[in-house]
Amino acid sequence: MTDKRFFSTREPLSLGEIARRIGANLAPGTNEGATLDGVAPLDAAGPRDLSFLDNLKYAGAFEKTGAGACIVHPRFAERAPEGVALLLSEQPYRAYALAAQLFYPEETSGADTFGEKGIVHPSATVHPTAKIGEGVTVEPGAVIGAGAEVGRETVIGANASIAKGCTIGKNCFIGPNTTISHAHIGDRVMLHPGVRIGQDGFGFAMGLPRHEKVPQLGRVIVQDDAEIGANSTIDRGAGPDTVIGEGTKIDNLVQIGHNVEIGRHCIVVAQTGVSGSAKLGDFVVLAAQVGVTGHLTINTGAQIAARGAVVHDVPPGQQYGGVPAKPIAEWRREVVELRKLGRRKKQTGGSEE
């Protein structure tokens, strides 16, 4: 059950409305007018909760659930316990995500953290030339610099710093202790606490008698509906801009170097690093702890397995893994052969023969 100190739901929703808005079908005989108050896991849900089954690992919990309703694939409907209303979907997890958004809309867009929405707190510092839209929340200790612009209904979290000249679109969430400089942020962007955007890229002309700093003269452009996880860093470009594409989701503790271009709707998972001037096409997936060398291209739809080290361009739609990253089938064959070699050495006492 969700803790109401942190998560507030909207008014109850009817099964008919939920089904319509998430694209599910109600099982025959379901009472469309029955209402629910929220969502909950299978093993904790009560008669006023909506749950879901997407992974057969939890089929046992589904068969015993006390949920009032459950989203499930049609082929598992017959395993539902008596009295549980069913919403049938070919993609139960996606349907559940949409339903949870209906009940908890603030968790989709980012809620204020201080508890006083729509005001500029007296302890915040807003430069007289900054433009603040209608309904903007500026929490305690936040600083907004000269000429900055913040769109309507955006939340600026406590102690966030928006440097001079930056623009932030409407309905954004800028988490506490975030810093933004040399950047333009689109609409409905979520920046979780501690994100750093627009600082110097790591650019030096190396050599004797000393390494000379190269001024970083580009910007960071974050397009609409992007989400960037806590303590991730995105450097501004050296001349070209660093670009984060529309709808891209970046996890916590990710580093994006200068001049990087990330396409639309990419997924970049925790502790990944993308070196300067690399380019990612649309719908690219980088799993956890991937390393991407600079000045290469990972083309549209490609996927890199966890801990992969990308040192060459990756063709569109391909799956790569390993160090250095290679087509995933080839990498898996190599892993199998290495295991066989290890077993043979163990059986022969470590002999090379």
Q: Which long-range contacts (CB under 8 A, 24 or more apart) does 80-86 make?
A: 85/15, 85/26, 85/27, 85/30, 85/31, 85/34, 86/26, 86/27, 86/30
- CA-based end-to-end distance of the chain: 62
Whether 258 is catalytic: yes
Cis amide linkage into residue 209, ω under 30° from 0: yes
Q: Whose CA is closest to 249, among 199, 190, 289?
A: 190
Length of the chain: 353
Facing residues of 184 across strands? 167, 221
Question: Checking DSSP bridges between strand 25-26 and strand 85-88, what pairing results, if any?
Answer: antiparallel
Query: What would the two tokens of residue 224 be?
Result: 């609409």
- In angstroms, the CA 36 to CA 86 distance is 13
Q: For the CA atoms of 164, 168, 174, 177, what is the dihedral angle to 10 degrees? A: -10
- Taking the CA of residue 184 as centre, how many other CA atoms within 13 Å lie in the half-sphere pointing to its CB? 10
Amino acid at the residue 16:
G
- In angstroms, the CA 319 to CA 335 distance is 16
- Secondary structure string (H, E, C) spanning 201-216: CCCEECCCCCCEECCC
Angle subtended at Cα 343 by Cα 338 and Cα 345, rounded to the nearest 5 degrees: 95
Give rounded-to-5 percent helix, strand, coil for the chain.
15, 25, 60
The residue annotated as part of the active site, out of 258, 265, 295, 312, is 258
Q: Is residue 51 helix, strand or coil? A: strand
Catalytic residue annotation: 258
